Chain A
């Protein structure tokens, strides 16, 4: 009897310790990110482009703009495709073998190594053209985004009550109108949250960009050229031996971290608010 209690207490203590270890590292990493990042932040970051080490006028403007363009274009490709595919699964395919097969494939794609996707896009969009370009980076990110959006759309549309659809059919509405005007409307909040989270997820991806959009030390909005991004800049700068570049790397990490975490928190708040209702 006493032995059981002792074992019980040991296990409970170990589990609590695990949770503390997890939290310890979370706070350590967050603390590093905030303290190093805030130290490196200044207005210069947003005004100047990346420059050779030792230069006073050096910032991240080109990388921030490049990142926004890449994520924006990736979203423009990935979100509609993901929503349409998810709509097909939820509204047309339902539980058919084919629909479930696509769900499985999409689940596998969701966890596929991002660097392999980068290599794939390199082979189809960079090698044939002969130079790195922004389109390739955006497509690589879009490939990662589609499965995430597909999954949320599928799940969220499923939550819309069947009766709403039936009511609309009874009024003589064709299926596409029912989907667009009734189902989408009912699932709006959930789908938008899923989209937000998918944007946060791809915004932090580096590996698919390394050899697609590559990097560029100049300001550019031309997707046919190599395009800088915060993540690739972070990688190049953090592994360099120059103190000022490393600091810029931390600033990039901070901007990225704040963006990703705040979008995640926002998504959570939206979900929570809906649940309360």
Chain B
């Protein structure tokens, strides 16, 4: 009797572990199956066609892909230097007493649901962009900045964790030779933590490209490649969030799934690269 229970417990737990794999494979398969009509109709040209006209049953993913790439790129350019700065501040500059509260505060920023960033962006940040840069305040620039604020704490926290892995003895040896803090940071800490820092940046990139709610509010949802980054645009998650429930017609529906599949593949590749190529050593909770 006990043997049966023992074995069933083992199989049950093994089954749960396998379930994770099954879900991942099923997601790929279902997205592909649902996207099939669109894949057959538009093929690979879907990626470059910029016309999105549901009434004509013509669908091209270029505006959404363009928006995703540009908003993510903007977010990365803004967030990366600041996140590294924060990490340097937290590991090398701040007094012991300040490290924990500021570190905690930054991690709290990472816990705030992304929809709150989006709402704040719509009501408080978009008007500022409108005033400073023109346009109606909604568009790639606003989306990129709101996105950068959203990934900043996440990026800073893992960058800090990788910098923290530098052994004190290496740093102390450099100080003993008369190095300044900056010398130590650039010649000891950053080379030592390089893989972890790059990994955290790529991981943040993976988060940013799939992020929906922080950008849906401020993107404007216009299916056109905009002339300027202050004009309204769209991105893959924004298109999905706004149009999924309205999609009528099989081809419309399939095209949205095509976009979802593209997004899933991109983020899968990005996250896998970050995790398995760079972050192997720094296996840390987040």
Interface residues of A (CB under 8 A from B): 4-5, 7-8, 11-12, 14-19, 21-23, 25-26, 28-29, 32-33, 80-82, 84-85, 87-89, 91-93, 99, 101-102, 104-109, 111-120, 122-124, 143, 146-147, 150-152, 155, 174-176, 179, 200-201, 203-207, 210-211, 214, 231, 234-235, 238-239, 246, 249-250, 253, 256-257, 260-261, 264-265, 268
Contacts and interface: CB of A to CB of B under 8 A. Distances in A.
Nearest to A155: B285
A91 B60 CA distance: 49
Contact of A235 (B90, B112, B115, B211): B115
Main secondary structure, interface of A, reads helix
B198 interface: no
Interface string B192-234: 0000000000010011011111001100000000000000000
B131 interface: no
Chain B interface size band reads 35 or more
A22 B30 contact: no
Contacts of B181: 8, 11-12
Contacts of B276: 104
B113 A260 contact: yes
A92 B10 contact: yes
B122 interface: yes
Given A108-B271, A109-B20, A260 B183 contact: no
A85 B16 CA distance: 5
B268 A176 contact: no
A28 B152 CA distance: 15
- Which of A101, A104, A115, A200 is most buried by chain B, counting CB atoms within 10 A of its CB? A115
Contact of B263 (A116, A122, A123, A155): A116
A123 to B, nearest CB: 5
A114 B83 CA distance: 24
- Which of A124, A152, A204, A214 is most buried by chain B, counting CB atoms within 10 A of its CB? A204
A112 B7 CA distance: 33
Nearest to B90: A19
B244 A122 contact: yes
